[in-house]
Amino acid sequence: MSSFKRNLKIILFLMLYSSTVNSHHSFAVEFTAERIIEIKGVVTEIWFRNPHVRYYIDTINKSNKIENWDVRTSSPSLLVRKGWTKKTIQVGDEISIIGHPGRDDRKLLSVISIKLPDGSSLGQDYPDSHELGEKK
C-alpha cells in the first residue's frame, strides 16, 4: 500500500473513531496524539476506578520478551452508563487494543477500541487490521 493511501486510511480512521478517553488531565502531555498502534495480549490486572480505568496487559515484544502495558480508558461512571462494567473484561482475557501510545516509548496506551475474546468491540467499532497504519 502506498504511503499516501496508508496515511489517508489513518486520517479516515481518526475521523471515524473518536477515543473513548475523556481526559482528566492533558492527554497531549502523556500520549502521542498523532500515532495509533495496536497491541494484543493477556489481561493481568484490572483497576476499575477513577481517575482512569486501567487494564494491565502482558504482550510479547519483537525480542520475544514480555512487556507489561498500562492501558487507560475513561472514568467508570461514563463507561458503566454504556454497559461497560468492571466484569466486562476479566483477568486472563486475551484482548486486542488500538489506541494512542505514551510519549517517550513509555508502555502506556490510551484506548480507542478494544476487541474482546468473542470478537465484539468496546469503545468504538474495532477496525480491520489493514486499516491501521502502524502495528505493534
Partner 1 sequence: MTHNQKIKNKLKSLKLRQFSICKTLLLIIFISSSSFAQDSIEGEWMLTLNGGKAQIDNSVVIGAPTDNKAAIIGQLSLKESNGNWEGHVEGGPVEINVEGDAIEILIDSRDLAGFVFFRRLTGRHSDQGMSGTFTIEGTTETPEAGGHWMATRKTSENINLPPQPVDISGIWTPAPGMDFRKYSMDLTDKAQTWHDDYINHYDQPNVRCVSPGIVAIVAWGAYPFEILESNNRLTFLYEVDSEIRRIFMNDKQPPEYFPPSAMGFSNGHWNGNTLLIETQLLEGNVRDFRGEPISEGARMHEQYNLSKDGNTLTAVITLLDPDNYKKSPIRRRKWIRNPNTEIYPYECDPDSFFRQMYNENKLDMYFDRSHRRQID
Binding footprint of partner 1 on the chain (CB under 8 A):
14-15, 18-30, 33-34, 47, 49-52, 54, 70, 74-78, 80-82, 106, 124
**Smallest separation (angstroms) from partner 1 to the CB of 132:** 16
Residue closer to partner 1 (CB basis): 30 or 131: 30
Residue closer to partner 1 (CB basis): 31 or 95: 31
Cβ pair 100, 36 in contact under 8 A: yes
**Smallest separation (angstroms) from partner 1 to the CB of 130:** 21
What type of residue sits at position 65? K
Q: Which three cell numbers, joined as nine digits, stand for 26?
A: 492533558
**Smallest separation (angstroms) from partner 1 to the CB of 69:** 12
Cβ pair 13, 125 in contact under 8 A: no
Residue closer to partner 1 (CB basis): 21 or 39: 21
Alpha-carbon distance of 41 to 59, in angstroms, equals 5
Pick from 15, 56, 62, 39: nearest CA to 114: 39
**Smallest separation (angstroms) from partner 1 to the CB of 127:** 15
Residue 93, phi then psi, degrees to nearest 5: -65, 140
Q: Any idea of the CA torsion for 88, 135, 124, 4, to the nearest 10 degrees?
A: 180
Residue closer to partner 1 (CB basis): 39 or 69: 69
**Smallest separation (angstroms) from partner 1 to the CB of 117:** 23
Residue closer to partner 1 (CB basis): 74 or 96: 74
